[in-house]
Structure 1
Amino acid sequence: MSLNFQIALAVGFGGAFGSILRFYAVDYVHKMELGNFPFGILLVNIFGSFLIGILYAYFSTNDVSTILKAFLIAGFLGGLTTFSTFALDSYLLFNSSLNYAILNILSNLIGSIFFVLIGFKLAIFFIK
């Protein structure tokens, strides 16, 4: 089996796990009935950003196989986080509440970037 095919399988399996986790996490948060704001997608995007920060720091300082990197980053985190759902939620919020739409956009963008930083810094702290 070629390396490219192994990487493609790793991305596929990781994506399946990440997508399933996203489904259950978003469903769980949705059942909390917190209003119309898409907290579930925000949660998985911020959590995924935190994890990618940790993994990036770890991968930068350790020798990790390309297959494992592909499974975790492109696969699992690619399946867990979602830009298309975030975009749809934002569009729908624009139709009902400009304030919620702006809050959603800023929370996802700033929150995700911030948690990449936090995850990276924490991982570097614990790796040293």
Structure 2
Amino acid sequence: MTILLVGLGAAIGAPVRYLVDRAVRERVGSAFPWGTFAVNVAGSFLLGLLAGLPAGPGAMALAGSGFCGALTTYSTFGYETLRLIETGARPHALLNAAGSVASGLCAAYGGLALAYAL
């Protein structure tokens, strides 16, 4: 049953990631990968929030592992950072790497703190 919950969450999270990334790219139109940055920070916040709530294993499988796991993307983050380096945008690559990690950690902490405050 757990694997079905993970799969259902992932079936929702992956298209959301695609749509958010696409919408952000269309609005911003920058060489910096703002779409991937946005979904990774949002997913980190949501996972931190879920971790702090009294959610059962089924809810964590569906929303945590499934939805958040498919929403966030480490592989795209790595690929886009390397592409920035290859195209000579080293400051953007450094900003993406450091900013994504720092922002993701802060977002996860913020979600956890919010859950504890509720």
Same fold per superposition (TM over 0.5): yes
Shift of 1:33: 3.5
* Correspondence for 1:91: 82
- Aligned residue runs from structure 1 range 1-128, under 5 A: 6-58=1-53, 62=54, 64-96=55-87, 97-126=89-118
CA distance in 2, matches of 1:107, 1:34: 19
Shift of 1:44: 0.3
Q: Percent identity?
A: 31
1:106 maps to a residue whose letter is: A
- Deviation sequence 1:2-32 (CA, Å, 0-9, x none): xxxx111111110010001001000000111
Which residues of structure 1 form unaligned runs of 5+?
1-5
Structure 1 stretches (4+) deviating beyond 3 angstroms? none
CA distance in 2, matches of 1:105, 1:123: 27
Shift of 1:86: 0.2
- Deviation sequence 1:50-86 (CA, Å, 0-9, x none): 111110100xxx2x33222101111000000000000
Q: Number of matched residues?
A: 117
SS of the equivalent of 1:37 reads: coil
Identify the range of structure 1 (33-42 vs 86-95) with the bigger mean alpha-carbon deviation.
33-42
TM-score (norm 1): 0.88
1:122 maps to a residue whose letter is: L
Shift of 1:87: 0.4
Which residues of structure 2 form unaligned runs of 5+?
none
TM-score (norm 2): 0.95
Shift of 1:122: 1.2
CA distance in 1, matches of 2:97, 2:106: 14
